Amino acid sequence: MHPPHLSRRRALAGGAGALAAAGALGSLTGCAAPATAAGPGQTLLRFWHLFGGGDGVNMQGMLEEFRAAHPSIALEATTLQWGAPYYTKLGMAGAGGRAPELAVLHLARLAGFAPGRLLDPFDLGLLAEHGVQEEHFPPDIWRRGQAGGRQYAVPLDTHPFVLYYQTEICEKAGLMSGGSLRPVNGAGEFADALRAVKKATGRPGLVTETFGADCITPWRLFSTFYSQTGGAVLSPDGRRLALDDTKALRVLEYLTSLVEEGLMVRRADYPACVSIFNEGKTAFHLNGEWEITTYRNAKIPFSMTRVPALFGSASAQADCHTFVLPHQAGRGGAPDEAAHAFVAWMLRNSVAWAEGGHVPAYLPVLGTPEYLALKPQSEYRDVIDDVALDEPAWFAGSASRMWIELGAVLSGALTGSRTPRGALDEVKARLRTLLDTRNPLPGAAS
């Protein structure tokens, strides 16, 4: 999903929600590829994305395979800086007529990109010609890509919050069965599992990111468990506050109780929480699934599973990488056809993408022997039916102002500088301010 965590965090901290002036558009490029010249009989296809680190390596391999299989398409792929800089440039490109044929967008950010103004809709007939149709995707994720009855985003994957676990430590604590973590049902059972780890190791059983200048994991943690209660943060249209105080406090008080009892590490920034788990100093780690590459490279005895259902449903906070068509005046012809062909090919070949931990959104891939052979990736694939995306608001989604601002507030509850009630009150105040703020992207509606 992201470049290495340090550069990703700096990208978020450096510009969340802030928009560069139009004159700075060209300076936002991260690792721009040299311009590709289309040869005789070739169609130029320009593609922007934000994948670095392990994801960048996987993407580069897929792009090379596409080029080899499609000699008539001159693919120019450009990697831009992850986070606010990427979305600033993408929005300006759609508004200013300098857009590429195709780009990547996080699904939960679609509402802020003014479909019909900054983005063009897909031609579903063209996708169908390449074997891609609506029934090939989870219904809820497919529908989130729509606006005004047209399809503006085609999902490549979902990248959910997951539970990593150290198999040897869990075995020592009596939490394993048949080589896998025993099912955990309910908040009480999860706390008991952490107590068993602490009894066996003398250390807290759980680590996750709890603080830092640009800390977002506290928001993802809260969003995961709050969604399990059936609560919503915003109204379905993303225009009104809908937080349920009783449900929110139930989650916050539970999480802070884990810290107070010494079952969860109180203070760990992102690099520290990854290191603590990587060094076997705790049994469980809650994070996005993209750290699978880190732990596999370290050759530690670990596995992964869905976040347990602590408060009712088994939902988990997530976002999705999607393909979008940035607005072009007069879009159509061979370049547009090439963009649709590229999207279909990437979906059909997304087993390679799943190696980085992401769950393919193209359902036919999930049942293939090649995907099922990926362990532990395929073992949490059914989470795709239970993902909790942010409601559609311009300030929500990956690298958004909401994640940064609310992550900082909820960090205080986890580290002890705020009470659960105080944190909730501040979360609601921040959300009201965001709801009253106009979308700053050029060409976007309020």
User: Who's near 178: CB < 8 A, 6+ residues apart?
Assistant: none
- The CATH architecture that domain 5-158+319-380 belongs to is 3-Layer(aba) Sandwich (3.40)
Is residue 26's pLDDT more than 70? no
* CA–CA dist 233, 410 (Å, integer): 14
Q: How far is CA 151 from CA 15, 138, 403, in A?
A: 29, 14, 26
Q: Is the separation of the CB atoms in 363 and 156 below 8 Å?
A: no
pLDDT in tens, 201-258: 999 999 999 999 889 999 999 999 999 999 999 999 999 999 999 999 999 999 999 9
What is the per-residue pLDDT for 37?
Answer: 66
Beta bridge partners of 325: 120
Cα torsion for 113, 116, 117, 122, to the nearest 10°? Answer: 80
User: Strand 73-79 relative to strand 43-49: parallel, antiparallel, unpaired?
Assistant: parallel
pLDDT (tens digit per residue) in 28-83 = 344 444 566 677 789 999 999 999 988 999 999 999 999 999 999 999 999 999 88
The per-residue pLDDT for 83 is 85
What pTM, to 2 d.p., does this model score?
A: 0.91
- Residue 363 Cα distances to 152, 223, 382, angstroms: 19, 25, 11
Q: Find out whether 33 and 390 touch, Cβ atoms under 8 Å.
A: no
What is the residue type of 389? L
Which CATH number fits the domain 160-318+392-435, given the four candidates 3.30.70.20, 3.30.420.40, 3.40.190.10, 3.30.56.10? 3.40.190.10
Reading the block at residue 293, the tokens are 């590459």
In the chain, residues under CATH classification 3.40.190.10 are 5-158+319-380, 160-318+392-435
